[in-house]
Amino acid sequence: MLQLQVINSPFNQEQADLLNRLLPTLTESQKIWLSGYLAATQSVSGIPETQVTELPAQPVQNISKEVTILYGSQTGNAQGLAVNVGKTLEERGFQVKVSSMSDFKPNNLKKLDNLLIVVSTHGEGDPPDNALSFHEFLHGKRAPKLENLRFSVLSLGDSSYEFFCQTGKEFDQRLEEIGGTRLYPRVDCDLDFDEPAAEWVEGVLNGLSEAQGKSAAPAQAAASQASETAYSRTNPFQAEVLENINLNGRGSNKETRHLELSLEESGLTFEPGDSLGVYPENDPSLVDLLLEEMKWDPEEIVKVNKQGDVRSLKEALISHFEITVLTKPFLEQAAQFSTNEALKEILGDAEKLKAYLEGRDLLDLVRDFGPWSASAQEFVSILRKMPARLYSIASSLSANPDEVHLTIGAVRYDAHGRERKGVCSILCAERLQPGDTLPVYIQHNQNFKLPSNPDTPIIMIGPGTGVAPFRSFMQEREEAGAKGKSWMFFGDQHFVTDFLYQTEWQQWLKDGVLTKMDVAFSRDTDEKVYVQHRMLEQSKELFQWLQEGAAVYICGDEKHMAHDVHNTLIDIIEKEGGMSREKAAEYLAGMQQQKRYQRDVY
């Protein structure tokens, strides 16, 4: 403990003794107030002493410089933002702790003064996997009163979904309900989140700094994922296409493309479990139909962003704007340019709106609700920027230096009297040739990673294109000489035409890189068989692997496959572990907490 010494100090012994008795009893806020009071008396030293002692004893408002940032992230966007926000605050002198919600102990909430939440919304308004337990705690009866907490929420979402930014809205409302005070209002971000995220960071900095008598410096670059000198989401790398192969055999109902892209001279690196962001182009034939319908001049020059960058109208519609997805905010803006009462009627009925948005695009809208009074410039100014498509990386960098591989299923379907095509998947299937380039970036995902211990057993469940990251896992484990057991569950329609990467899996089995593989081909039997059925057939051994500490990974469709597999895992744990349903669910939740149950679902 620091003791005040009389030697070389301006205090006599009695004063020193008094101070030494007082100082250890002061709280941190009392010490700060005292230093502020003494500074104030110093600043008015020209006033007679009697006046100084009569200054009102009001503490200077102080805000702790300790800030906790919690993120809930499924694909890595919220995590990347949280990390960069933390760095920005540290540069401004704050003491920052950045943590996944799953790694944060909820009981520590009462100790926090400043809390920032960065969270995405997953599926139909659900929290990301690593936010589930924290979300449940905060909305439960055990949530503490937090009258001293100052907070702000940055919410990521996609406005084409009905429950846009739902998780962020729920956190924001709940923190207020239990006593928290907003230091800056919640900001809801659509897919193009850089500008609103930067504005939120600046607002948060101002909120934290104002009570300290400081003004925050602009934080426009705070939200970017990397410096502009490196290739990133906002500065993609033009990757050359080396190979573009159809993995399905002749006669298959599916078309699955295997893409090999060059990363040479990009400096981009990734780990198994990461994703590749790809910026696609719209189908030129769809753009031509739109231009014809609206009688627009393809060569008209239009502004494409707030910075004033310009393109020809046709180029802007092909490469810059999203035209295949309709959202409620877009329809509300478009209604300004239409006198058609039917559009306003749809906007006034939630069920009708939901039904209309499903499977329709911009061409449908302009055909259904004309005539339109907007110019081409006015119309494109309300369109969303083309969002990147994220694909699980299907290769290991150590096994394939300077390359990245993707597994992409071509999306084609009929809806509302027209054939529909997936923007990126059909670009890859129909128009992309070796030698062409694609704008790409790496999306790091710490929520889908191989165990740090190579001896840990792993169970991989990935039907269809969900096989992609597990090809990466196997390549990485083979290169590293990992000794841990591995078990793959793969499913598709037909064995003969749809067994993706069949020869590679067979070679890994032969070499012992892969310990065990179970397959389910749903259209080869009278009764459809899926991966979860194969899991149930192997329930005893599967539970034994779990008891040995195996990590379980699921990749693929969330709504059906991942949901069914999740319930099947609980079934197996309940049956083989002799547990109640509730205890089995707790067992799986515990695995998730230990990062032994990870999902890359969409």
Torsion of CA 123, 125, 126, 128, to 10 degrees: 70
Q: Which of 161, 153, 148 is nearest to 109 (CA)?
A: 148
- Exposure string for 334-350, b = 16+ CB within 10 A, e = fewer: beebbeeeebeebbeee
Torsion of CA 499, 500, 506, 507, to 10 degrees: 160
Mean pLDDT of 408-415: 96
- Exposure string for 470-505, b = 16+ CB within 10 A, e = fewer: bbbbbbbbbeeebebbbbbbbbbbbeebbbbbeeeb
pLDDT higher for 62 or 264? Answer: 264
pLDDT score of 369: 95
In order of 125, 185, 188, 256, 306, the CA distances from 222 in angstroms are 27, 18, 17, 38, 19
- Give the highest mean pLDDT range of 73-77, 102-106, 505-509: 505-509
Confidence check: pLDDT of 589 > 90: yes
Percent of the chain with pLDDT over 70: 86
DSSP annotation string for 316-360: HHHHTB--S---HHHHHHHGGGB--HHHHHHHT-HHHHHHHHTT-
Mean pLDDT of 543-570: 96
> How far is Cα 12 from Cα 388, in angstroms, rounded to an integer?
71
pLDDT score of 23: 67
Mean pLDDT of 368-376: 94
Mean pLDDT of 535-560: 96
Q: Are 392 and 468 in contact (CB under 8 A)?
A: yes
Q: Is there a cis peptide before residue 454, judged by omega within 30 degrees of 0?
A: no
Do domains 66-210 and 458-601 share one topology? The answer is yes
Q: Is there a cis peptide before residue 371, judged by omega within 30 degrees of 0?
A: yes
Beta bridge partners of 585: none
List pLDDT tens digits, range 379-393.
999 999 999 999 999
Confidence check: pLDDT of 542 > 90: yes
pLDDT higher for 45 or 531? Answer: 531
pLDDT score of 209: 82
> How far is Cα 588 from Cα 3, in angstroms, rounded to an integer?
54
Confidence check: pLDDT of 61 > 80: no
3-state helix, strand, coil in the chain (%, to 5): 40, 20, 40
pLDDT band with cut points at 50, 70 and 90 for residue 213: low
Beta bridge partners of 421: 412
pLDDT score of 55: 38
Mean pLDDT of 163-186: 96
Question: Residue 388 carries which DSSP code?
Answer: P
Confidence check: pLDDT of 310 > 70: yes
> How far is Cα 361 from Cα 379, in angstroms, rounded to an integer?
14
Confidence check: pLDDT of 10 > 70: no
Mean pLDDT of 59-75: 80
**Side chain identity, residue 94:** F
pLDDT score of 46: 39
User: Which contacts (CB < 8 Å, 24+ apart) does range 302-308 have?
Assistant: 302/376, 302/377, 302/380, 303/377, 303/381, 304/380, 305/385, 306/195
Q: Which of 334, 419, 422 is nearest to 384 (CA)?
A: 334
Tokens 């909820």 locate to 106
Q: Are 150 and 183 in contact (CB under 8 A)?
A: yes
Confidence check: pLDDT of 228 > 50: no
Q: Which of 438, 195, 161, 557 is nearest to 325 (CA)?
A: 161
Phi, psi of 430 (to 5 degrees): -115, -25
pLDDT score of 102: 94
Mean pLDDT of 502-509: 98
13 Cβ contact list (under 8 Å, min separation 6): 6
Question: Residue 310 carries which DSSP code?
Answer: E
For the domain made up of 458-601, give the CATH fold. Rossmann fold (3.40.50)
- Residue 35: Cβ within 10 Å count: 11
pLDDT band with cut points at 50, 70 and 90 for residue 35: low
pLDDT score of 103: 94
Tokens 């295997």 locate to 258
Confidence check: pLDDT of 33 > 80: no
CATH of domain 284-380: 1.20.990.10
Kindly state the greatest CA–CA separation across the chain: 99
pLDDT band with cut points at 50, 70 and 90 for residue 123: confident
pLDDT band with cut points at 50, 70 and 90 for residue 40: very low
Q: Are 69 and 97 in contact (CB under 8 A)?
A: yes
Q: Are 543 and 572 in contact (CB under 8 A)?
A: yes
Check the CA dihedral 222-223-225-226 and report its sign. Answer: negative
Confidence check: pLDDT of 415 > 70: yes
Confidence check: pLDDT of 224 > 50: no
pLDDT band with cut points at 50, 70 and 90 for residue 528: very high
Tokens 């300077």 locate to 402
Tokens 């109208």 locate to 313
pLDDT higher for 337 or 227? Answer: 337
E strand or H helix at 594, and its extent? none
Mean pLDDT of 448-475: 97
pLDDT band with cut points at 50, 70 and 90 for residue 51: very low
Confidence check: pLDDT of 212 > 60: no
pLDDT score of 576: 98
Burial-class residue 309 by CB neighbours within 10 Å (0-12, 13-18, 19+): exposed
pLDDT band with cut points at 50, 70 and 90 for residue 124: confident
CATH class of 66-210: alpha beta
Mean pLDDT of 473-484: 97
Domains in the chain: boundaries: 13-52, 66-210, 237-281+387-443, 284-380, 458-601
CATH class of 237-281+387-443: mainly beta
Mean pLDDT of 495-524: 97
Q: For the chain, what is the mean pLDDT?
A: 89
State the helix-helix crossing angle for 502-511 and 468-480, rounded to 10 degrees: 30
> How far is Cα 198 from Cα 203, in angstroms, rounded to an integer?
9
